[in-house]
Amino acid sequence: MIAPYIPPKRKTKVVFVQLGSPEAPTAKALRKYLRNFLGDPRVIDINPWVWKIILNGFVLPFRPAKSAKLYERIWDGKSFPLITNTENFTEKVRSELKIIDPEGYVEVNHAFLLSPPYVNEVYDSWEEDLKNNVGATKLMVIPMFPQYSESTIASGVDALAKELSKRVKIPTFEVITNFHRTHAFIDNSVTQLDAKVEELKEKGIEIDKLVISFHGMQKRRVVFKGDDYYRHCYETFRLIVDRLKHLKPEQAIMTFQSRFGSEEWITPYTEATVEKLIEEGNRELMVYSPSFVADCLETTDELGHELAEDAKEWGGNVYPVECLNVKDQWCKDFAKYVMTQAEGSAQDKEDIEYQLRPEDFEAMPELAMKSAEA
């Protein structure tokens, strides 16, 4: 007998999407991971035929072994920080939603682009719920990258679109393309930084400069393609440094890390900036990367290990600040943010983020290519 159709209760299924990590810190696992990651035309947006030759002929034969050694330094024997933090973050947000949403209008899940659970697995679970008349009536995807960029957010949208192209049942859906101006993200970042300054001061350490380090991007993507990433980074920088209690805005510097290839990337570069600051006598440096909300290779190893070691050789000290990860207040505030996005009014949604004035952008460095070629 066919089960009677029962109209579903209004419910939004929210999916936190992260990039993911390799299966293990081995050359074999990294080769698979990098093939999928670097094979994405949103990540590497040069001529696909040229890049295919470079990727298979020069990158994949050599880079996996080198990358495996780096990933081994952040491997806990079972998983990587990005995976563990994302899982725990989702669970804590889910717990908070049970308090502020006792009727169950919102449910949260997580998915990875390059690790299980994949987007298609979450979609499968939604279709299974539909069979039992408990499926969500709306799908909301929140890529866990605060600032928009083609190489992250658009890549995630492509993955969703690819999955939708295979499905018969498609819910009403929405993609949140950035959350870098939200009170939840900015206020908790400021709290994290202020707490680190206080912690170091108790140890007798006075911070000279704060380096706000964002993940890098090819400069041409901003200059020629109009990617919003650089502007979003500056907005993040401005909103954070103007709200710090223990450091003055002029003590903070915006930089960019994680270059790949020989193209011009957004400057100033984090490593070169830190070296110059130390040469100028700024020996106690704090570094924070608000491109990420969960610690990963770029924060734990690139900044927390490699940059810190380099700084010592240059005669200074780098004190890395952890990502927001699973901090209680961050999870509480993000649960409220999710609830507002899913169930709030237009005014509620206006009130969940900071607004900037035109004069706030007067000090934003202008990007210009050294080469005139696109």
Kindly state whether residue 360 falls inside one of the protein's structural domains. no
Judge if 163 and 115 occupy the same domain: yes
Return the pLDDT at 1. Answer: 47
Q: Give the mean model confidence (pLDDT) for residues 49-65.
A: 94
**Percentage of the residues of the chain whose pLDDT score is greater than 90:** 89
Residue 269 has pLDDT above 60, yes or no: yes
pLDDT at 275 over 60: yes
pTM: 0.94
When pLDDT is cut at 50, 70 and 90, the band that residue 38 belongs to is very high
Better-predicted residue by pLDDT, 132 or 374:
132
Residue 166 lies in a domain: yes
Helix (H) or strand (E) holding 10: none
Q: How far is the C-alpha of 220 from the C-alpha of 120, rounded, in Å?
A: 33
Task: Locate all alpha helices (DSSP H) within 224-343, ordered by sequence.
Answer: 229-241, 270-279, 308-314, 328-343
**Spatial contact of 254 and 231, defined as CB atoms under 8 Å apart:** no
Q: Which domain holds residue 318?
A: 183-326
Residue 257, SS3 per DSSP = strand
Q: Could you tell me if residue 335 is inside a domain?
A: no
Q: Is residue 104 included in any domain, yes or no?
A: yes
Give a yes or no: residue 357 inside a domain. Answer: no
Using DSSP's 3-state secondary structure scheme, residue 266 falls into: coil
> Is residue 361 included in any domain, yes or no?
no
Contact 223, 368 (CB under 8 A): yes
| Longest Cα separation, the chain | 79
**Mean pLDDT for the stretch of residues 39-45:** 92
Label residues 227-238 b or e (16+ Cβ within 10 Å = b). bbbbbbbbbbbb
Task: Kindly state whether residue 341 falls inside one of the protein's structural domains.
Answer: no
3-state secondary structure of 342: helix
Residue 37: alpha-carbon gap to chain centroid? 15
Tens-digit pLDDT profile for residues 122-178: 999 999 988 888 889 999 999 999 999 999 999 999 988 999 999 998 999 999 999
Averaged pLDDT for residues 174-200? 98
pLDDT of 78 above 50: yes
Cβ neighbours of 319 (radius 10 Å): 20
The mean predicted confidence, pLDDT, of the chain is 94
Q: Which residues, other chains included, contact 23 with Cβ-Cβ below 8 Å and sequence gap of 6+?
A: 29, 32, 33, 115
Total domains present in the chain = 2
**Residue 374 binned pLDDT confidence (cut-offs 50, 70, 90):** very low
**What's the rounded mean pLDDT across residues 48-74?**
95
For residue 156, the domain's CATH number is 3.40.50.1400
Q: What is the pLDDT of residues 16-36, one digit of tens each?
A: 999 999 999 999 999 999 999
Q: Are residues 150 and 247 in the same domain?
A: no
CA distance 340 to 349: 6
Same domain, 16 and 156: yes
Residue 132: the pLDDT is: 82
Residues 242 and 162 in one domain: no
Tokens of 367: 């990007």
Q: In this predicted structure, what is the pLDDT of residue 262?
A: 81
Q: Comparing C-alpha atoms, which of 268, 205, 209, 270 is closest to residue 241?
A: 209
- Residues 279, 131 within the same domain: no
In this structure, the number of other CB atoms found within 10 A of the CB of residue 346 comes to 6
Cβ–Cβ under 8 Å, residues 136 and 171: yes
Q: Are 163 and 195 contained in the same domain?
A: no
